[in-house]
Chain A
Amino acid sequence: MKKNGVKMIKINSKNVDVFYGKKQALFNINLDIEENQVTALIGPSGCGKSTFLRCLNRMNDVIDICRVKGQIIINDFDINDKSCDVVRLREKIGMVFQKPNPFPKTIYENISYGPTIHGMAQSKNEMDEIVETSLKKAALWEEVKDRLHEPGTGLSGGQQQRLCIARAISVKPEVILMDEPCSALDPIATAQIEELIDELKKDHTIIIVTHSMAQAARVSQNTGFFHLGELIEHGSTDKIFKNPENKKTQDYITGRFG
């Protein structure tokens, strides 16, 4: 989104290094993410794109041996600073995973989980409303409105993934991180999710890691290409796909390696 012709930067990462034990996984990443746009991170397996994504909501904290250096600034605030409250951060930055991972609870409880934790609803009515809006935004409402109190694990793969998206947007995050959200889905479910991503970018900034270059080209406005832990090139999707500056990027996009 452009304000007075100037791009609005939502996330600004400076000199990010990530280590797993002694092994360095990311080298000096500097990447700006535009607000209310879809940014795709592409690159061969093991290139660090998922690791970078997990830096943005501090999910790497969960891994004991993982250390993150550098600054990641969101809303003028460095999330790697000691004073950062991870609970508040993750309320603002939601995440959708590669494999649909609904909780073994009912559909309703899956959605109400986040709002309950963050105390966002004062009454049952309010909660009902949050659940309904989230499911509608995730384009799942029509399919599940009659069975909200059945287990979420009973849905099909594509429905489960949309349930996870609904769960992520239930707390009204500013940013949604998606880690290969369609890799476990069939083409029809994938198309539904991609359509949804396009819809969601009105209210949210979206960063998506994907293995499919076609998907990156379809859904994203900006693309970053990672290789061996380094950010090789980033810019508008159009430019990266049609006119890449770096030879590696060109080779990868034309399918010569990766």
Chain B
Amino acid sequence: MNLILFIFIVLLGFTSYYFGRRKAYTIQSTNKRLTALPQFYGYYLAIWCAIPAFIIFSLWAIFEPTIVKLLILSDYSNQGYLDDELNLIYEKTKALSRGQFTGEITPFIEASAEKYLSLRSIAQSSKAVIVLSIIIASVAYAYKKISSNSRTREPVEKFLKAVLFTASLAAILTTVGIVFSLIFQTIDFFKVIPLFDFVFGTHWYPAKAFVRDSSEALDPTMYSDTFGAVPIFAGTFFIAFIAMCVAIPIGLMSGIYLAEYASVKVRQYAKPLIEILAGIPTVVYGFFAALTVGPFLKEIGNSMGLDVSAESALAAGGVMGIMIIPFISSLSDDVITSVPQSLRDGSYAMGATKSETIKKVIFPAALPGIVGSILLGVSRAIGETMIVVMASGLAANLTLNPLESTSTITAQIVVILIGDQAFGDPKTQAAFALGMSLFLVTLCLNIVALRVVKKYREKYE
């Protein structure tokens, strides 16, 4: 029903576009000069169709359920039901009307369901009638109004601007919403767990929080020594460090090769190939790390008499580094390529060799951009989840031995939120606190990276 109505409105929109344009042509044929191109007249009418439709649809979506609910529940008023019970009755009614109700059907509810269905159908048809009549009225009004000297271009441009603004607003509001949902849960968490214990505690053992019976009162003392985040922060930065040890040299060197040494043909094929690495889903990297690299390292370690855990920081960090290579290589390639050719010429003309030129002129000139690309790589490494969940172990070990297993912020969030969670439980809220700290760290890194990149841009433009 709604779909048919929607299609109908769209068709109406096209029709009004056509009529608007036709009227413009008619005006034009009488040798009058138009204030805008004919299609603007068409768009103008289409907007007069779209805006009323949008307004009515949204008003309907907001008010219809409330009104229907009021009408249904008015039958139950003065019978001494509590609000909760009334809500339940309403839910039952809705379920029954959809045929999804499985409990005991009382005559009362059956009657309500029938009433609900009839109300809904009345609402639907009245909506269709109202929408269509208002649209036709508004389009007709606008059609009569447009003349050779009416302004149609400006409203159309304004409408487009408003649409684009709404789109970007949606993205920003989502970000703000996410941050707020993190903030409130985080504050609740720190009401139970002191900030000091979280930031400086060295023992992370959220499983302990499982043990609590939910009927027991919350006793903050039982969580002491449970949510000390030092081991997982250490693990996060340690694995990110290992990843960057792999990604920075390889990424930079391949970036330099692509930008300075590779012939046009090689570059044409090599660059997309390297960028394919960026397109591999991280879960695939994850099982590559867990099932191939991890056991391989263990075997090598064992043959050398070293004790290597099958899930080691080295395996996870190494594979994560491989994942980050394309970001660094591609970005630094772009940055190096954008160093002006005149600097290279200047250096070659002094008798410098290619490697001297790269080392002494191009690299320093491109350094801000390269640092920016590295920082973006680091923030990816810190935020990466799948690889560490699969390959680095889940126990929060405070260790600096790359051959042992360790855990990261992201992996712990996964551990905490997998399966059933109780809202308002410190264990669940711990995930929010972790998410918040992760967000802050990557935010800072991104801000620094963008600043650095921006500084670089100012230099050559």
Q: Which residues of A are interface residues toward B (Cβ below 8 A)?
A: 57, 59, 62, 64, 86-91, 94-95, 97, 99, 101-105, 113-114, 117-118, 164, 167-168, 171
| A103 partner, pick from B264, B351, B353, B361, beta carbons under 8 A | B361
B114 interface residue per 8 A CB criterion = no
Q: What are 23 A-B interface contacts by the 8 Å CB criterion?
A: A59-B345, A59-B348, A64-B264, A86-B351, A91-B351, A94-B350, A95-B345, A95-B349, A97-B346, A101-B340, A102-B346, A103-B343, A103-B360, A103-B365, A104-B343, A113-B352, A113-B360, A117-B350, A117-B352, A164-B346, A167-B346, A167-B350, A168-B349
The chain B residue with its CB closest to the CB of A114 is B350
- Residues in A neighbouring B360, C-beta threshold 8 A: 103, 113
The answer to whether B350 touches A90, judged by C-beta atoms less than 8 angstroms apart, is: yes
The chain A residue with its CB closest to the CB of B339 is A104
The answer to whether B263 touches A64, judged by C-beta atoms less than 8 angstroms apart, is: yes
- Residues in A neighbouring B215, C-beta threshold 8 A: none
Most chain A CB atoms below 10 A, which of B264, B343, B348, B351: B351
The chain A residue with its CB closest to the CB of B351 is A90
The answer to whether B459 touches A97, judged by C-beta atoms less than 8 angstroms apart, is: no
Q: Smallest Cβ distance from A237 to chain B, in angstroms?
A: 26
Interface majority SS on B: helix, strand, loop or mixed? helix
A101 to B347, CA, bound (A): 10
B344 interface residue per 8 A CB criterion = yes
The chain A residue with its CB closest to the CB of B263 is A64
A227 to B208, CA, bound (A): 87
Chain B 333-365 residues near chain A, CB threshold 8 A: 340, 342-353, 356, 360-361, 364-365
| Interface contact tally, CB-CB below 8 A | 67
The chain A residue with its CB closest to the CB of B360 is A113
Q: Which residues of B are interface residues toward A (Cβ below 8 A)?
A: 263-264, 340, 342-353, 356, 360-361, 364-365, 459
The answer to whether A118 touches B348, judged by C-beta atoms less than 8 angstroms apart, is: no
The answer to whether A87 touches B353, judged by C-beta atoms less than 8 angstroms apart, is: yes
- Residues in A neighbouring B346, C-beta threshold 8 A: 97, 101-103, 164, 167
Q: Which 3 A-B pairs have the closest CB atoms?
A: A90-B351, A95-B349, A101-B342
The answer to whether A57 touches B349, judged by C-beta atoms less than 8 angstroms apart, is: yes
A171 to B364, CA, bound (A): 22
A246 to B385, CA, bound (A): 77
Q: Smallest Cβ distance from A177 to chain B, in angstroms?
A: 8
The chain B residue with its CB closest to the CB of A96 is B349
A171 to B347, CA, bound (A): 13
- Residues in B neighbouring A89, C-beta threshold 8 A: 351
A3 to B328, CA, bound (A): 60
Most chain A CB atoms below 10 A, which of B352, B365, B459: B352
Q: Smallest Cβ distance from B414 to chain A, in angstroms?
A: 45
Given A97-B342, A104-B459, residue A90 in contact with residue B349 (CB < 8 A):
yes
Q: Smallest Cβ distance from B371 to chain A, in angstroms?
A: 15
The answer to whether B351 touches A62, judged by C-beta atoms less than 8 angstroms apart, is: no
Given A104-B459, A105-B364, A113-B360, residue A90 in contact with residue B342 (CB < 8 A):
no
A57 to B350, CA, bound (A): 10
- Residues in B neighbouring A101, C-beta threshold 8 A: 340, 342-343, 345-346
- Residues in A neighbouring B351, C-beta threshold 8 A: 86-91, 114, 117-118, 171
The answer to whether A90 touches B348, judged by C-beta atoms less than 8 angstroms apart, is: yes
Given A62-B344, A64-B264, A99-B342, residue A104 in contact with residue B350 (CB < 8 A):
no
- Additional A-B contacts beyond A97-B345, A168-B350 (7; CB < 8 A): A89-B351, A91-B350, A103-B361, A104-B365, A105-B364, A113-B350, A114-B351
Most chain B CB atoms below 10 A, which of A95, A97, A101: A101
The chain A residue with its CB closest to the CB of B350 is A114
Q: Smallest Cβ distance from B459 to chain A, in angstroms?
A: 7
Q: Smallest Cβ distance from A62 to chain B, in angstroms?
A: 6
The answer to whether A117 touches B356, judged by C-beta atoms less than 8 angstroms apart, is: yes
Most chain A CB atoms below 10 A, which of B346, B349, B356: B349
Q: Smallest Cβ distance from B268 to chain A, in angstroms?
A: 13
The answer to whether A62 touches B352, judged by C-beta atoms less than 8 angstroms apart, is: no
The chain A residue with its CB closest to the CB of B344 is A62
The chain A residue with its CB closest to the CB of B354 is A62
A114 to B347, CA, bound (A): 8
- Residues in B neighbouring A86, C-beta threshold 8 A: 351
- Residues in B neighbouring A105, C-beta threshold 8 A: 364
A105 to B350, CA, bound (A): 15
A104 to B343, CA, bound (A): 9
- Residues in A neighbouring B361, C-beta threshold 8 A: 103-104, 113
A86 to B340, CA, bound (A): 22
Q: Smallest Cβ distance from A118 to chain B, in angstroms?
A: 6
The chain B residue with its CB closest to the CB of A117 is B352
Q: Smallest Cβ distance from B362 to chain A, in angstroms?
A: 10
Given A64-B263, A97-B342, A113-B360, residue A103 in contact with residue B349 (CB < 8 A):
no
The chain A residue with its CB closest to the CB of B264 is A64
Q: Smallest Cβ distance from B359 to chain A, in angstroms?
A: 11
A41 to B335, CA, bound (A): 36
Q: Smallest Cβ distance from A182 to chain B, in angstroms?
A: 16
- Residues in A neighbouring B348, C-beta threshold 8 A: 59, 62, 90
A113 to B264, CA, bound (A): 29
A99 to B350, CA, bound (A): 16
The answer to whether B344 touches A103, judged by C-beta atoms less than 8 angstroms apart, is: no
